[in-house]
Amino acid sequence: MLDVTGVAEGITVKLRLRQRARSCPCPPQKSFDLLRILYVKMSRLALVVALMPLAAHADPLELQPLVVTSGRHAEPVQQTTAATTVFTRKDIERLQVRSVAELLERVPGVSISRTGGAGSQTGLFVRGTSTAQTLVLVDGQRISAASSGTSSLEFLSPEQIERVEVVRGARSALYGSDAIAGVVQIFTRQGSGDGLKPYVRLGVGSNQTFERSLGVSGGDAQTRFNLGAALDETQGIDATRDNFGANGDDDAYRNKSLSLNLSHRFNDDLKIGFSALDQRGQSEFEDIFGTSLPTTDFQLSSLSSFIDANVSDAWNSRLEIGHSEDKRDTVNDQPDASADAFYSFSTYRDSVNWVNTFALNDRHQVLLGADWYEDRLRSDTDFVEDSRWNQAAFIQHRYNAEYFSTELGLRHDKNQQFGSKNTWNTALTVPLNDDNDVILSYSEGFRAPTFNDLYYPDLCYPGFGCFTSANPELSPETSKSYEAQWRSRFSETSAMELSLYRIDLQDAIVLDQNDIPQNVQTARINGFEAALQQELFGWQGNLALALIDPRDRDTGHTLARRAKRTLSLDLDRPFGEFALGASWRAVSGRYDDAANTRELSGYGLISLRGKWQATEEVAFDLKLNNLFDKDYAEATYKTSNGRFGYNSEGRTALFAVTWTPEL
């Protein structure tokens, strides 16, 4: 668990995070002329965009927050070498999001694919990669299912989240498997440290949606805590567009969540903490092949504890111990009174992480650490193997000079299944002046095959024989990424970040003609990202744009369900006790299959939101999603009647009241 609030108070000083020395920020004149030309051209583009009233993820370009995910230690976001987006608790409340996916859609280069309404399966595509190629953490704990390799983002309640950090670009040199596209880290709600503060929120909306949450936050300079609980329920929507079988019913969703975050600082050199998150409930979905009424009972939980100590003036050591679970029990209720079909897949994961930061002097910093985790799978299906462990050691060196900074990292993983794997990354940062940086980086990534890929048992049918559905000889998927970034701060009220990158994927796992997974696919992903923050005429704004070309190098086809163009635009403005906001999300067309024969149309969605702070203790919120009731699909399914697109939620409204009494 990584306590960002505590970091802001003390860890920054203890780790001796220093700004780059810039007594003479001028690079050689020839290079400066070239970069100045590029700066002028991009400034014109930024100026055009800046004239639009945009919306921000933070207060008007407040001091850059500290982040911990990019480098596995606390640092200002402007010092990270990887492209990083941060959402705080204020952002979650201002944007009035109902799911983690709604937040992530605002990140440049991120596409989301859902198979229905609330609680439906959610795919996350970062920079054109697959869902399983992005590592998702909750308070430092991996939450992906060992069977499928995907993380259940659809079950995470925003009411239990303090902040979200999204790092784009391979981070396997620090995190190991799954971090090919980057890392998404979610932090549970934390105490403010300034007395006891209870909160209650009640919401009601379309599709018989009811949201209820309450909690208490508090503490002092030494101890902080937050305890929160929530219950979300909705009748949902009909996820399918045909009347085959029982597909005409709405798909309800119920989620009960509980979170606890506690930390205590004994003195300036020693701090301990604990966090827990538990999400459980039931999600209905469609049986697109029959007439049953299937439901999934789920539980997604994580536990994490840490000890953070300053061993000396130059050495900070942090030890984390954690446990996570992903449980799914699916029942297909048979209407003909025959035996119900039952499927169960549960992942149990234990982990230990040890990270040490050495500030050798003002210019040199070394990060040295070790990771261990073990996955255990429990299922009604008899897998050939049901557990495996992974152990790793990593080192990263940072050097801050007068005219440049460097980063070099190396990690060695030893896995029970595939043996050893080495990954490394490097980055060069060149400050053009106090407000402009150019970053060039190279990074490697890999993803271990899942238990389904490796150990799923043969499928046997009476009279037809047995069919192989797994391949124990699979190797990890690998990637090489090249990126150039330009970060610029035009003024106190505007900032821009540009990224140009290429990802080369090797040994990607796909099914062959016999539905057996093989390391056969190679892919190349070229992309451009732009993010602009701007304050104009009292409006606070943020624009995120991405252009991606994700190609299968063998066939030349576009990778399935990856949108080539995405744009996110938010705007917010306070008017005394009132606040207004709007969002625009535009997604280009994309293909739903690897052969590029089924194309999904692009779409644009507009949402409105408002807030009235009636008193110091009572606030009212109103959110209108999909204002113009746009009909669109993010994935398709096939029945005997044909192929159809999954329904998405049309126009919806949610009204909520929040009470924060003063004690």
Domains present along the chain, CATH in parentheses: 4-659 (2.40.170.20)
Band (20; pLDDT cuts 50, 70, 90) = very low
Which pLDDT score, from 0 to 100, does residue 341 have? Answer: 66
Q: What is the mean pLDDT of the chain?
A: 89
Q: Above 60 in pLDDT, residue 87? A: yes
Non-local (6+) Cβ contacts of 483 within 8 A are 83, 169, 439, 440, 441, 442, 443, 499, 500, 501, 502
Which pLDDT score, from 0 to 100, does residue 479 have? Answer: 97
Non-local (6+) Cβ contacts of 640 within 8 A are 244
DSSP, residue by residue, 260-275? EEEEEEEETTEEEEEE
Which pLDDT score, from 0 to 100, does residue 343 have? Answer: 85
CA 350/CA 375 separation, integer angstroms: 7
Residue 227 carries which DSSP code?
E
Band (22; pLDDT cuts 50, 70, 90) = very low
Which pLDDT score, from 0 to 100, does residue 335 have? Answer: 59
Higher pLDDT, 21 or 146: 146
Mean pLDDT of 546-563: 95
Which pLDDT score, from 0 to 100, does residue 48 have? Answer: 37
Mean pLDDT of 106-129: 95
- Ranges 14-23, 111-120, 340-349, 637-646: which has the least confidence: 14-23
Q: Above 90 in pLDDT, residue 52? A: no
Band (383; pLDDT cuts 50, 70, 90) = very high
The number of CA neighbours under 13 Å toward the Cβ of 279 is: 25
């301990």: which residue's tokens? 272
Residue 130 carries which DSSP code?
-
Which pLDDT score, from 0 to 100, does residue 192 have? Answer: 81
Structure tokens at 161: 């989240």
Mean pLDDT of 544-548: 97
Which pLDDT score, from 0 to 100, does residue 641 have? Answer: 79
Give the CA distances from residue 352 to residues 150, 273, 507, in Å, rounded to whole numbers and listed in that order: 21, 15, 29
Q: Give residue-wise pLDDT tens across range 227-278.
A: 999 999 999 999 988 876 667 789 999 999 999 999 999 999 999 999 999 9
Beta bridge partners of 661: none
Band (3; pLDDT cuts 50, 70, 90) = low
Band (31; pLDDT cuts 50, 70, 90) = very low
Band (472; pLDDT cuts 50, 70, 90) = very high
Give every strand in the sheet of 83-87, ordered side by side.
83-87, 161-168, 182-188, 134-138, 141-142
Three-state SS string over 617-629 comes to CEEEEEEEECCCC
Q: Above 60 in pLDDT, residue 16? A: no
Structure tokens at 120: 């439906």
User: Residue 367: how many CB atoms within 10 A of its CB?
Assistant: 20
Mean pLDDT of 448-470: 86
| CB-based contact 107:544 (threshold 8 Å) | yes
Q: Which of 10-24, 194-208, 321-335 has the highest mean pLDDT?
A: 194-208
Which pLDDT score, from 0 to 100, does residue 14 have? Answer: 38
Which pLDDT score, from 0 to 100, does residue 567 have? Answer: 97
Which pLDDT score, from 0 to 100, does residue 241 have? Answer: 86
Which pLDDT score, from 0 to 100, does residue 53 have? Answer: 34
Which pLDDT score, from 0 to 100, does residue 334 have? Answer: 64
Band (340; pLDDT cuts 50, 70, 90) = low
Q: Above 60 in pLDDT, residue 54? A: no
Q: In this prediction, what percent of the chain has a pLDDT beyond 90?
A: 78
Band (23; pLDDT cuts 50, 70, 90) = very low
Band (30; pLDDT cuts 50, 70, 90) = very low
């070498």: which residue's tokens? 81
Which pLDDT score, from 0 to 100, does residue 338 have? Answer: 53
**Residue 224 burial by CB count (10 A; 0-12/13-18/19+): exposed, middle or buried?**
buried
Residue 62 carries which DSSP code?
P
| CB-based contact 559:71 (threshold 8 Å) | no
> Pairing state of beta strands 161-168 and 636-639?
unpaired
**Residue 339 burial by CB count (10 A; 0-12/13-18/19+): exposed, middle or buried?**
exposed
SS3 assignment, position 93:
helix
Band (493; pLDDT cuts 50, 70, 90) = confident
Q: Give residue-wise pLDDT tens across range 400-436.
A: 998 999 999 999 999 999 999 999 999 999 999 989 9
Q: In this prediction, what percent of the chain has a pLDDT beyond 70?
A: 89
Give the CA distances from residue 553 to residues 157, 170, 479, 598, in Å, rounded to whole numbers and listed in that order: 38, 20, 14, 19
- Ranges 44-53, 278-287, 598-607, 635-644: which has the least confidence: 44-53
Which pLDDT score, from 0 to 100, does residue 36 have? Answer: 43
Question: What burial letters (b/e) apply to 190-210, b meaning 16+ CB within 10 Å?
Answer: bbbbeeebebebebebbbebe
